[in-house]
Structure 1
């Protein structure tokens, strides 16, 4: 039986105040789950907690029966949960290929080359750029590399925070097929996205946050047909 990523009752404090309140969220293997909400809704704090950068005050994060709550970032990634923070962060003073090789340190040595090859198969334009410094890439190419860094760890679940941030729509469209292929390969994806329609077009299920709380959970297909439900949920939060 497939193991789900389950966030249960997660609360997070930052700067002496609670910014995420008892969030429940579930993501399934091989499916894209959208996480929507206005700026300041607590989405990025939730991502940092999933990555192990922030320690939650209450609640739990698990994959199947394996509890990941409070583990260090390396241990969380080794357990199969990888995150791509917003801002397509890469090691700009290192080459593209060295970015990928560095990110593969958790993979058994004999499997590292194959893990990098899978990233090149997904993002074909990165391969001929392997010798270039990552900081010289375009914004879209840096986002591909950031996603690739997460994928070389061979995660069961991938969390992508604001994939399209700062990118032109034509560049974002180049990333969409890759997300579908990642999910088709069995990886569960949580997509935090400012472009609501893009996220709903990709997702099977959707959550919306406002003021640190989940205010709506519904099939993405339903919200595509009734986008006013999102606005109403935000107003009532």
Structure 2
């Protein structure tokens, strides 16, 4: 029997300490393939850094995690190969100067390069184009983005997309590589209540299809696995909170330079 496509995500006393203190610590999780996991907390609480650490983009300093059996922080490269990122400010963002079609083509070209450029170049150009189009269409369908509904169709500029449309486009690009783990930052940022519900419905459908999903948010729905970041109300003071925020900013800046 084939193993599930999604990645199991496990963490034990997982933490990251920077020059100004702990960014996150004591993270524990045991989620099976195809789970929908929310990283919940206020902005500046280390939630984005936790997402980057669990996807192999940032190196933790305490404890360990396992993503589809790949142990972190030792096997960062192996985890990066099976985990796809949605937009993360300063790390992985949509190019506002491109059209939707150009952004999708760029994503498909990058994915083909990572899959094995020599084999890909040996295939006839028409076959490569057809395969890329099929992959894009499947990813758009999974992300629930109908290009015909956009103001200028696929020629719509990325900068003109509504926030939820941008989320769907980012998800589609991430899905082009058939990742085992899909990670999104600031899922509910600037979304109305109705749009937020749509976004979570989208992520539930992706998880139900077998891909494990990890999403940073301010407030998670009741039916998902939740990791909470930030100091406990009774155990930390204002100075600790400020150190966490500064440490998270430092760690993100370092990730952006990597």
TM-score, structure 2 length as denominator? 0.69
Name which of structure 1's ranges 154-163 and 23-32 shifts more when overlaid on structure 2: 23-32
Per the alignment, residue 14 of structure 1 pairs with 18
User: Structure 1: how far apart are the matches of 2:20 and 2:74?
Assistant: 19
Q: Secondary structure at the match of 1:103?
A: helix
Q: How does 1:194-213 map to 2 (within 5 A)?
A: 194-196=218-220, 199-201=221-223, 203=224, 205-211=225-231
Of 101, 107, 128, the residue aligned with 1:97 is 101
Moved more, 150-159 or 102-111: 102-111
Q: Which has the higher contact order (CA 8 A, sep 6+)?
A: 2
What is the aligned counterpart of 1:118 among 121, 134, 138? 138
In terms of fraction of residues, the more strand-rich structure is 1
Pick closer, same or farther for the CA change 1:167–1:106 going to 2, 3 Å. Answer: same
State the Cα distance separating 1:194 from its structure 2 match: 1.3
Deviation at 1:206, TM superposition (A): 2.4
- Indicate how the Cα distance of structure 1 residues 70 and 135 shifts in structure 2: closer, same or farther if over 3 A, else same: farther
TM-score by length of structure 1 reads 0.74
Is 2:107 the partner of 1:83? Answer: no
Q: 1:97 to 1:7 in 2, by over 3 A?
A: farther
3-state secondary structure, aligned to 2:80: helix
Superposed, which structure 2 residues align to 1:105-184 within 5 Å?
105-107=110-112, 108=115, 109=120, 111-128=131-148, 129-184=153-208
Question: Which entry has the higher C-alpha Rg, 1 or 2?
Answer: 2
Superposed CA RMSD in Å reads 2.8
Aligned length: 210
* Structure 2 residues not aligned, in runs of 5+: 121-127, 237-258
Q: Name which of structure 1's ranges 149-158 and 61-70 shifts more when overlaid on structure 2.
A: 61-70
Change (3 A) 1:69 1:115: farther
8 A contact 2:70–2:79 mirrored in 1: no
In 2, distance between residues paired with 1:22 and 1:95?
42
Residue 63 of structure 1: CA displacement?
A: 2.3
Residue 26 of structure 1 is matched in structure 2 by: 30
Kept in 1, the 8 Å contact 2:145–2:168? The answer is no
For structure 1, the 5+ residue unaligned runs are 212-232
Deviation >6 Å, runs of 4+:
none
Label 1:98 to 1:60 Cα distance change in 2 as closer, same or farther (>3 A): farther
Q: Which secondary structure state, in structure 2, belongs to the residue aligned with residue 200 of structure 1?
A: coil
SS of residue in 2 equivalent to 1:6? strand
Distance in structure 2 (CA, Å) of the matches to 1:94 and 1:14? 36
